[in-house]
């Protein structure tokens, strides 16, 4: 049984009223995909497990903050997970070798976070705005948000000064904001 956008939305809405069964179902269905993302960002199984647990604790506590009219539940949860992973990277020494065996054990048969976000009309608008960005701005923003790279990691990967990468991201986000304004 595949995880659908509607399923996750309904489960998260049920969590807003304290429905533990809906939360359990949401965890059971969404955690394999989210764990795979955490593992790709953190490259350590133990850190990925902790980030996933912290993510779902936050989802349970903040379920009332979710607004279905702003977009599907899965991207909302994915942002929480991404932030937990980035917090971990800031606290710890990053980029340990990837445990390939652990990554292979975790199926990722559901839609990616990007595919889930694209199910929403607002996300389609955002995609159009991202496509309008220039090369370095677009690349740095996509790597930061979808691969979870820090500014320092972006500077290394893109062979550019740290200040330049920060400027690309800041200016790119300003252009996105302007593009998305009604």
Q: What is the pLDDT of residue 47?
A: 92
DSSP code for 65: G
Q: What is the pLDDT of residue 66?
A: 86
Is the confidence at residue 20, as pLDDT, over 50? yes
Give 160-172 pLDDT, tens digit per residue: 999 999 999 899 8
In a domain, 115, yes or no: no
Query: For helices 162-180 and 151-158, what crossing angle results, to 10°?
Result: 110
Residue 45 has pLDDT above 80, yes or no: yes
For residues 42-48, average pLDDT? 91
pLDDT tens-place string over residues 128-158: 888 888 888 888 888 887 777 888 888 988 8
72 and 12 in a common domain: yes
Domain residues for the domain of 139 are 120-182
Q: Examine the domain organization and report whether 13 and 95 are in the same domain.
A: yes
We report the CATH number of the domain holding residue 95 as: 1.10.1740.10
> Do 102 and 133 have their domain in common?
no
This prediction has a pTM of 0.52
Residues 34 and 104 in one domain: yes
Report how many domains make up the chain.
2
Q: Which of 24, 23, 26, 20 is nearest to 6 (CA)?
A: 26
Where among 62, 89, 110 does a domain terminate? Answer: 110
CB atoms within 10 A of CB 127: 12
Residue 107 makes CB contacts below 8 A (sequence gap 6+) with 32, 36
Going by C-alpha positions, the residue among 70, 56, 43 that lies closest to residue 11 is 56
Which has the minimum average pLDDT: 46-60, 66-80, 114-128?
A: 114-128
Last residue of a domain, one of 110, 141, 156: 110
């Amino acid at each position: 049984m595949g995880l659908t956008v509607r399923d996750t939305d309904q489960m998260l809405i049920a969590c807003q009223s304290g429905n533990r069964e809906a939360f359990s179902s949401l965890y059971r269905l969404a955690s394999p995909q989210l764990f795979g993302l955490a593992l790709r960002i953190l490259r350590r199984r133990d850190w990925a497990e902790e980030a996933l647990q912290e993510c779902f604790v936050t989802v349970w506590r903040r379920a009332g903050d979710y607004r279905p009219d702003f977009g599907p539940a899965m991207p909302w949860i994915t942002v929480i997970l991404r932030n937990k992973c980035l917090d971990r990277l800031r606290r710890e020494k990053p980029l340990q070798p990837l445990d390939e065996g652990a990554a292979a054990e975790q199926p990722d048969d559901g839609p990616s976070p990007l595919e889930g976000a694209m199910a929403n009309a607002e996300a389609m608008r955002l995609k159009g705005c991202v496509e309008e960005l220039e090369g370095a701005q677009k690349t740095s923003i996509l790597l930061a948000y979808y691969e979870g790279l820090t500014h320092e990691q972006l500077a290394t990967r893109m062979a550019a000064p740290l200040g330049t990468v920060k400027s690309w991201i800041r200016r790119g986000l300003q252009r996105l904001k302007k593009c998305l304004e009604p």
